[in-house]
Amino acid sequence: MPGLEEAFDRIGVSAEHHLEASHAPGLALSVTDREDTLGVVVRGLADVAARTPVRPTTRFQIGSISKSFASLIVLQEEAAGRLPLDVSVNDLVPWLGLAEPFGTITLHHLMTHTAGLLVGTEDAPTGAGTLHRLRENPPTTAPGERFLYSNDGWKVVGACLEEVTGTRVPELLAERIVGPLGMTSTAGAITEAEHLTTAIGYEPVFTDRPVQLRHPLMPAKRIVSDTADGSIVSDVLDMGAYARLLLARGDVPDGRGGRLVPEDLFERWVAQYVDDDEGGTYGYGFWQDEVDGVRWIGHSGGMVGYTAYLAVSPDEGLGVVICQNGSGGKRGLARTAFAQVRAALTGDPLPDPWVPPAATDVPAAAEFAGTYRGDDGRVLMLSAEDGGLRLEVGGIGVALERDPLEEDPGDVFVIPHDALERFPLAFGRDDHGAVVEAVHGATWFRGDRHAGDDGDDPAPPPEADRVVGLYRNDDPWSPALRVLVRRGRLVVTWPYTGSDEGADAVLIPLEDGWFAAGSLRDPRRIRFLGEGAGGRAVVAEYNGGQWFRAAEA
């Protein structure tokens, strides 16, 4: 079909632009209909050192897309009467010992991220280690009260499956889904041996500062994992078969016969139960959203050195899978893949290849322009220039950058200059939406439009000198945290934006030397242990993991 061939050529051009914007070595993309793969696009390198190109059969880690695989097996077990979704998970796994201070935590809560459990630092390299730590890190809100994404919660889901079936999660995946779908290149666990036949994952070299496009890449740390929250290795051809299962509403595709998911079970599998924190809805390992007037069902995935994306459009009968050995949002590339194939199949004119904006593009740059005076004496001059935002401070002039693949990059920028890059420049708005302030590290800057009375910042807490500093950990997900004082308050920051921990959090004193990070409602707790030179703490213990004081450049 000539139109379809040209459509995939244009998707390929878009993929090249995407790779440049995401600063990743390579990717693979497939588009499928209800019957078969319509086409595959591959670009870049699976192994930079060996110059090995990405191929359609190149395998990647798919991360949290794995959650929907696990939820299907849970529903199968429930349908068989072996695994209720509405009883305490402590009843299902007697040795678990999960604290339930606000009410019963069920599998439904875990699979919808409403159990109130912490996200998970991944400092414990095994599922058993994570479950042990959860005993000492209880939820801080009632089950069902709020959406709070939790990988640790899905590790509990896997423990429930293994306890009830007597079979490990990787074997369950192989028996129940991977085998029946003919996914011959897919494995249910990340083992050291799997790394031999998988694309090399890559991450920026620096972990103590925000990611920037100018930072070199290095091979990511290898991990092993067999937990239900995200341990599948696959390629875009196999994942296309999984997308066809969704499009076929549970029928086994590719002429293999039979129904893998009964109709009533399928409806529950893809149903949406809660509002997520990004304007969409979430179910048992799937989100739903409307894009360009079309309903999408899918999930993203992120692992150490890998990202992935699955989206199906049930009404159009199309699915897109993207796997990449690096970071970067996939929504824009998936959107253009759908648009190109849709046009080709209907005979409409093909759209131009998609080009993401430059990192320096700031359409609303004038909103940030002005003078900002810091409480450390520095003065920032921000000006709208050449479609972007230029910073002048201390004789340094530089164009600020944002993630070009984020549809809503927000008010946070990176500063691509050696002297300033360790912290993002984050702006704040007043109740009317006007930009009135900024923070950079420990410094607060008052903007020209700030109309309020600053007042006197409180004195730094007495423990400030003891705890302020950079702490490191071998955990590849959250390799560094930094504690600083801003406006008289202790703040914990996660310099590496690949961390699930996200934005800065003010530390709220609790009893026995503990602090809540950000909010008493969030199950994030930190304390500082030991004493080194100058009486400074040497260990930051965060949600059971330990980060150790490091020398700062």
Encode pLDDT of 506-534 as tens digits.
999 998 899 999 999 989 999 999 988 88
CA distances from 426 to 402, 443, 497 (A): 11, 11, 13
Question: Identity (one letter) of the amino acid at 387?
Answer: G
Mean pLDDT of 413-435: 95
Does the predicted model carry a pTM greater than 0.75? yes
Q: Which helix (H) or strand (E) segment is 291 a member of?
A: strand 287-291
What was the pLDDT predicted at 89?
97
> Is the pLDDT higher at 366 or at 257?
366
Average pLDDT, the chain: 93
What was the pLDDT predicted at 497?
59
Mean pLDDT of 319-339: 97
The pairing of strands 443-447 and 469-472 is unpaired
Mean pLDDT of 175-200: 96
Residue 24 has pLDDT above 60, yes or no: yes
What was the pLDDT predicted at 201?
98
Residue position matching structure tokens 């666990």: 189
All structural domains of the chain, each given as residue ranges with its CATH number in brackets, are 2-69+185-346 (3.40.710.10), 73-165 (no CATH), 365-447 (2.40.128.50), 464-549 (2.40.128.50)
What was the pLDDT predicted at 137?
86
Mean pLDDT of 21-40: 96
- The Cα–Cα gap between 16 and 547 comes to 38
The pairing of strands 202-204 and 217-219 is antiparallel
Mean pLDDT of 22-36: 96
Residue 361 has pLDDT above 70, yes or no: yes
- The Cα–Cα gap between 368 and 284 comes to 40
Give residue 553's pLDDT band: very low, low, confident or very high (50, 70, 90). Answer: low
- Cβ atoms of 68 and 74 closer than 8 Å: no
Please give the distance of CA 501 from its chain centroid, rounded to a whole number. 10
What was the pLDDT predicted at 500?
52
Residue 456 has pLDDT above 80, yes or no: no
Mean pLDDT of 184-188: 98
What was the pLDDT predicted at 255?
52
Percent of the chain residues topping a pLDDT of 90: 82
Give residue 78's pLDDT band: very low, low, confident or very high (50, 70, 90). Answer: very high
Residue 406 has pLDDT above 70, yes or no: yes
The upper half-sphere exposure of residue 180, i.e. CA atoms within 13 Å in the direction of its Cβ, equals 20
The two tokens of residue 73 are 């097996």
- The Cα–Cα gap between 95 and 132 comes to 10
